[in-house]
Structures are given as structure tokens and as C-alpha cells.
Structure 1
Amino acid sequence: MEGKEIPLGTRIVSINGRPMETVISALYKYYTTDGVNITGKAIGINFSFARYYRLHYGLENTFEVCYIPHGSHNVRCKTLESVGYRTYYKNVENRYSRPYDEGDYKGWEEEESYTFEYRDEAVAVLTVNSFSLGNENSEKHRRYTRFLDSVFTELKTRKTKNLIVDVRHNGGGTDPNDLITYAYLAQRNFRENRQAWVSFNKVPYLRYAYSKIPSFLRPLGVGKYNRMLQKEFPMEKGGRFYQTETSKDHRIRTPEENAFTGNIYLLIGPRVASAGSLFAAMVTGNPNTVTVGEETMGGYYGHNGHTPWGYILPKSGLETFFSIVNLEQDVPEKDNQVYNRGILPDYTVKQYFNDYLEHRDTQMEFVIKLIEKDK
């Protein structure tokens, strides 16, 4: 933060004698992402660094922080007193970078979740910050579909050549909002996924499962959940249980009548996950898309999702949660996309230091210059 004990723009070298490279890599395991991706881990670690640091290293009353001020080559050290979590998160809320990165951490209200604007006659920007917009039966979802229809009708009427699609802060949401959005950008028939499987069709370790129902009563209710799994994933192959072609996830979808056929510039970032990454992967697979930004949290070829499950570990009491469905996404193979990684941009663009100081959007400015260059 500006005006605090350590100057703005400082590079931290070590904390209590531990090099920052060692500290950060040690904390990676506390924040999970798809595959071996690490850019997404920075999202969680940045915001809750103090919590993960204490979890790993234990309680410490003072911190000797060694750092190099911006523009200097000399290491300085300062001892700081520990503060409580309430003070820490107050400091986080007042961080200097908040005007630029707030979208990575906030909960989006409906009116903030999607916007559309023209930058000029040839360039429009569609921003979708969240797909948490209800399911097919909700009015929120219907409002979103009407919004999309009006946007792409206007784009077609005005014969707009360039569309920037900004999903950098999109952590996911509910089906089918991701799929109906892609239908307005697609140039092919598509489906939600090519295949989906789970590794069990009966709940294992039932007595350790996260539930408010006492463990001795759980066998009475678990049958319904098991039947749901067996109905959704009826085909066994190689110790896995797969969906069949009758699943709605495999239903063939077609592009919308007013689907955009011009140049698409997709902005992505480390926050993109779940339904956000499924959408971004599909758009990245388009031949008319240029993808700009940073590697996403969610994978290009697939991810785990849909059905959350949790356990309470018996000795430590730790609660752990994960999604049990492994999904292979309906995307084409691309030379620059790596299995077990997030979506990799065609142009990797990070915020430069001076842009950070001035709260400038480096990635958006890069795209605008790219469009100007391609005219």
C-alpha cells in the first residue's frame, strides 16, 4: 500500500530469512487449480497470503522483511509487528492494486456481471464477469439471453468487424449460460463436452463424508445419491463410469442465427475457471479468435467440475472439497495448448510496472493496438 512501512513498488526478497521464491512455492499446494497451472494459484495466495503463510510456517509475532525498493539495487530490511486477521484483511481491502484487480475477488451483482459497449464504429467490447446467472427456468437467465440477443443483433446490423470478449474475471457459474454465450460466437456445431466420467458410482468412505447428517444415519440416505450417480454415469469402462450419448451434456448445439463472424479478441486471465474456462477454451478454439492475457486457472482440454463433494479427515478434522466429474471439453487440438495446463494465450501480456503505478489496463491497451495494427 502507498505510504506504509515498505514503499510502493518494492520487491520483497525474504521474510524471516526465507527467500520469497521458497515461500511462494511452499504455499502453492494450499490453493488448487486444474493440472499443473500456477498462475491461478496466485489469485488465492495474493489475497489470503497471511492465512496460508501461518498455515504453513505457524504463528510468528514479528517479521523481518528484506526488500529492494523500486529503482534501487540495495537490499533493505525492516522488522514489522504481527497484526490480527481483521487488520490484515482491512489492509488487503485498501491495497493499491484494488482498482485494477478487484474483479478477481469480488462477488458480482447481476447488473455488474455483463456489459457491452462500442469503442468506435469498428470495435465493440462484450464483458462477461460471471456466468452465475441462473438456470433455464430463472428470470435472471432469461434477462441474460435477451441481452445477448440484442447485442449480437446490433453487431450484425452494424456489420461490426472486431469484437473484444473480456472474461478475465470470470470464475464460472451455472449452465447453460456459458454455452448460450458461445453459441453467439461459434462457427461450428458443438456440445458441452466430449466425455465425462467419475471414478466411483457408490460413495466411498461414507462415514467421513462432509454432511450434517450423523454418520450412523447416512446409509439410509446415501442410496438416492448413488442412484443419481449410476443414472448419470451408467457405462463402466476401465474402472471408470461414463456418461452415454443420451446425456444432455452431449446434445449437439448449433450457432445462433446472429452469431458473430468477424474478428474475436478474447481477454483471459488467471481468475478464469470452471464454466468461465470452458467458454474461454471453446472461443480460443475458433479460427477467428486471437487470445490475449495470462494463462487461466481452468484447463483448455478439460477440467474437473459439476458435482462437488467433501470429506472431513478423521485425525486432523480438516475439511476438503473437490469436484468429482472429469470433463473432456469439446475443443480442437491446437499446437500452442498443452495438456494439463490452463488456456494459454496467443499473446502473453502482463501488467507492466509503470501501468501498475498508474492503474492502467495493459492487456486491453495491447488488444486495441493489435486491432489498429491489423486494420
Structure 2
Amino acid sequence: MFKSKIVLIFFLPLFVLSQNKKWPAEKLKQDLVIFKEVREKANSGLYKYRTKQQIDSIYSWAFSQINQPKELIEFYKIVLQITDFEGSLHNDTTLPDDFEKKYSSGNVFFPFPVKLIENKLVVNFENSEIPLGSEIHSINAIKSLKILNSLYKYYTTDGYNITGKSIGIGSSFAKYFQMEYGPQKNFIVEYSLPNQTKKIKKTISAVSNEKRKENFKNRHSLPIDSLQYNRAKDKYSFKIISGNTALLSVHTFVIGRNAKHKEHLAYKKFLDSCFQYLSQNNQIKNLIVDVRNNGGGTDPNDIVTYSYLTQKPFRENTSAYVTFQEIPFSEHFVYEETEPQKKQEEKKDFEDELKEEFPKLENGSYFQDEKFNQLLQPTPNNFKGQIYLLISPRIASAGSLFASLVAGNTKAIVIGEETMGGYFGHNGHTPIEYELPNTKIKTQFSIVNLEQDVPKKSNQIFGRGVIPDYEVKQTFEDFLQNRDTQLEYTLKLIEQK
């Protein structure tokens, strides 16, 4: 969940190398050592899903890969493997801006948006070369399954979750492919037409990054998945669907910076009006809560929303901790400020906040003071009918915390697909960023390791997202027709009950 972000920039002498040249192994190993030490000191979620032995093992592998000079992009892929392996959707490791801009110049990208439908990679764009809905079997003789497996590291998810990676594939397939397999002038695509098995080969030309983005904006599935990739203009809505059913859609929790922000206050007023109406209208027995596009946001939007759906006191989490009060390796920290004096002031303010919220040292970790995690009460006009919660792989951070609370602590019927955010907990709240001194690769992660206030359930698995009671995926025919499979399923389920 996105709280105030400390973004830091530290200027060191730049070890300049062309993107086409190889970096000395010594320089890469220096960066990898710093990358490892930073995460051991600052990343409270380092061993959340992996044992120390497993983490040590992947670093042993990484060091073994850089005994010889390497191009920056190859070193970057190694670091990405580690970033993804840790299992936090708030992890993000990026190339230097100037390098990525140069590396992505020219007509080098796969031209068509794609989408994973029924575990198949299909064309998601009306065009004259490869028909919409065609299944891609291989590109440049690389099988689609191998391509997908190789691209997963570019989009991090919580724990062992895989479903959420479909969001990254859907939005950035061409970019990931170019980074993984290099710039291409042409693509030999082996595909089959919709609902056919005969394989066809066709060579198509690469396009520019601008054209790639333009094609994505004009993808076929835009009417259904537009909110998954763009911050919603209409962030929330409420409507009566029938005489006994209402629909509350909350597409993001990026609704004001804090509890006093006017945007949050307007949202709170909106919720009050919706649930006051529901409490006064005894005919509406069913409430569909649609958070399928909710990738997270700021406190207390998630908690306030939940307070209208529960009848029990609750907390945001059962525990939360960080592993430092003073920034380790501060010489590599990325600051917002650039002047030395202002950087020191920013550093002190940040550390003072940590010491206030996480004052208690236990077993090497600093735990959250209870005043920052108070017992909260349900809103008086909370909904007492049947809740139907719609979830998807897009749901992350504050969105998944909200979905976990509803799925775990109410009698909601959960419909859709597993969330990318964890059910039992995640690392969130406060993202920090470091820059490696030689390559200038930046790495970001969130430092608060929290356990969500949810019970154990037979269908909820450690290291996985919220698991639906009814798994409902979009069918291929619904994809072609742009039908909302999950919502239609839910309405039918309500009719049957």
C-alpha cells in the first residue's frame, strides 16, 4: 500500500560504459555485493517466503554468472532474478534511464498487444496481419511457454503467486521480450487462427516504442481491462442493479494522501451516503463489491471501506516491523533532495518517523507501536446482507489487504481469480530506493513486514494471494465479445440463490 515514499538520489562518480560494451566482472561483483548487503540490512521481507539457505543459494548462482565481463542488460537480468525470487510485489529494480532510452530506440518491438486467455497467448489487437484472437505458439522459434517463463521475472508478485504476472505480460509483453531476447527487426510468428489447430507462420516487422504504446492503447480488450492499467478517472461508483442487488466498485485506493485530504473526505462522504441508503432500503439483500482493478493506494481508504462491510472490531494488522531505525548504507540511498544539508534533514526526518512508529526492539527487529495500529470499530450503518467480492490478479498492496480482510473476516462469497497480493501478509507501507554505485541500477522495496488481521482458512495457502470461493476466468468467447465473465457469473449466482 503506498504511503509517503522516500525517494533519494545520491551522486557518485559515474563509471561510464557504452550500452554495447561489457562491464568488468570486478565492477559487477562490487554492485552485487552492495545489492546483497543492502537487502540483508534493510529488507525486512527478505526471508518471508525464502529460507536463508535459499537466498544464499541464489546469490551463489548470481556470483557464478559474472566471472567474465558482461553487458549491462545481462547483469540486470541476473539482479532481476533475485528481485523476483524474494517474493514481494513492491520490489522493483530498474535500469538507468539513459540506458533504457537508448536501448529501446528504433523499430525493435513486437507490434501487437497480447493477452493470456485460458492459459494461451492470444493476439489482442485488430490488424491485417495476424487476426484478433489467434493463439501464438512461438516467436522466432521460441515456444510461447518458454517465453512466458522467461518474462515472469520482469513483474514481481507476492510470495509464490503466478496469476498476477499476467498483468505485466498484458501491459508490457513487447518491452519484456525486447529486454529478454534483444532488439529485433522482424518476428517469425507461428500461430493458429481462433478455434482452429492448423499452425501458420508469418514474418511481421518490428515497430517503435511509440507505436507499441499506441497499439496498446487501441487493444481489443480496452473496454474490459482499461482500469487494470490506468488510474481510473472515476475511481469509485455505486449503482442499484436490481430490486435486491447493488454494486459498489472501488477501482483504486489512491484517493487522497491521508485521512485529512479533501479527496479522502469526499470518498468517506460517498461511502456514508451509499451505506445509509442500503441500511434504509431493506429490499437490497446483496451487495457486489468489485475491486478487480484495485492495485492499491494510501491509508486509510482500504480500512475505511472495510469498516462498512464488517460487524466486528478489527485491526489493520496483527504485527508489523522493520529491521532498522537508521538508514543502512546511506551513501547509496536515493534522496529527493540534492543539497547536502537538505539531504541530512530529510534523512533525520525519515529516521525520526521510524523511531516513533517502530520503537520496540525484539530479536533484531523494530516493532510497530500499538497507537499506529489501534483496534477499529465497524461503521454503524455497515451492510448486513450478503456480500459478493469480485477479485482478480490485478489486486495488490492495499487492494489485497482489503480483499483479505473481507474474504477472511466476513461471510462474503469471493468470485474471480487469485490476487497477486498476499492473503496472510506482505511487505508494504514505506518504499525506499538505492542506487548501485557502478552500474547505476536502482532497486526499490518496501520495508514494513506486516501480518494481516485474517484467520487461517482451508482454501488459503501461505505464500499465495486471496483464493476465490468460485474461480471464474474470462473465456475465449467472452474475450472476443468483451463480456464481463465474472460479473455475469455473479448475477446468475444471485438469481439462483
Q: TM-score, normalised by structure 2?
A: 0.72
- Establish whether residue 157 from structure 1 lines up as the match of residue 260 from structure 2: no
Match of 1:256, SS state, is coil
Deviates more, 1:80-89 or 1:203-212: 203-212
Q: Is the 8 A contact 1:207 1:215 kept in 2?
A: no
Matched, 1:146 2:266: no
Write the deviation string for residues 10-60 of structure 1: whole angstroms up to 9, x where unpaired.
Answer: 111111111111111111111111111121121122111111112122112
In structure 2, C-alpha distance between the alignment counterparts of 1:99 and 1:363, rounded to whole Å: 15
1:51-200 to 2 correspondence within 5 Å? 51-109=175-233, 112-134=234-256, 135-159=258-282, 160-200=284-324
Name the structure 1 match of 2:128: 4
> Which residue, 18, 32, 51 being the options, matches 2:156?
32
Of 213-222 and 6-15, deviating more is 213-222
- Which residue in the other structure is 2:173 paired with? 49
Aligned with 1:322: secondary structure? strand
**Equivalent residues in 2 for 1:272-351 (5 A)?**
272-351=395-474
Residue number among 317, 334, 348 corresponding to 1:223 in the alignment: 348
Q: 1:310: Cα distance to partner?
A: 0.7
Which of the residues 128, 132, 137 maps onto 1:13?
A: 137
Q: Which residue of 2 aligns with 1:210?
A: 334
SS of residue matched to 2:445? strand
Can you list the C-alpha shifts for 1:37-96, whole angstroms capped at 9, x where unaligned?
121121122111111112122112111111121122111111111111000111111111
**Alpha carbons 2:310, 2:410 under 8 Å: kept:** no
Q: Of 235, 253, 258, which aligns to 2:360?
A: 235
Residue type at the aligned position of 2:133: G
Instruction: Name the structure 1 match of 2:60.
Output: none
Q: CA RMSD in A?
A: 1.6
Partner amino acid, structure 1, of 2:452: Q
Sequence identity of aligned pairs in percent? 47
> How far apart, CA to CA, are the structure 2 residues paired with 1:53 and 1:286?
41
Structure 1: where are the runs of 5+ without partners?
none
Instruction: Tell me the secondary structure at the aligned position of residue 316 of structure 1.
Output: coil
Q: SS at the partner of 1:264?
A: strand
Cα distance in structure 2, aligned partners of 1:212 and 1:221: 8
Unaligned stretches of 5+ in structure 2? 1-124
Q: What is the distance in 2 between the residues matched to 1:359 and 1:183?
A: 33
Contact 1:187 1:286 in 2 (8 A): no
Deviation at 1:148, TM superposition (A): 0.9
- Deviation track 1:91-136 (CA, whole Å, cap 9, x = no partner) reads 1111111111111011123xx1111111111111011111111122
More displaced stretch, 307-316 vs 162-171: 307-316
Give CA-to-partner distance per residue, 1:258-288, whole Å, 9 cap, x none: 1111100000111111111111111111342
Distance 1:78 1:200 in 2: 55
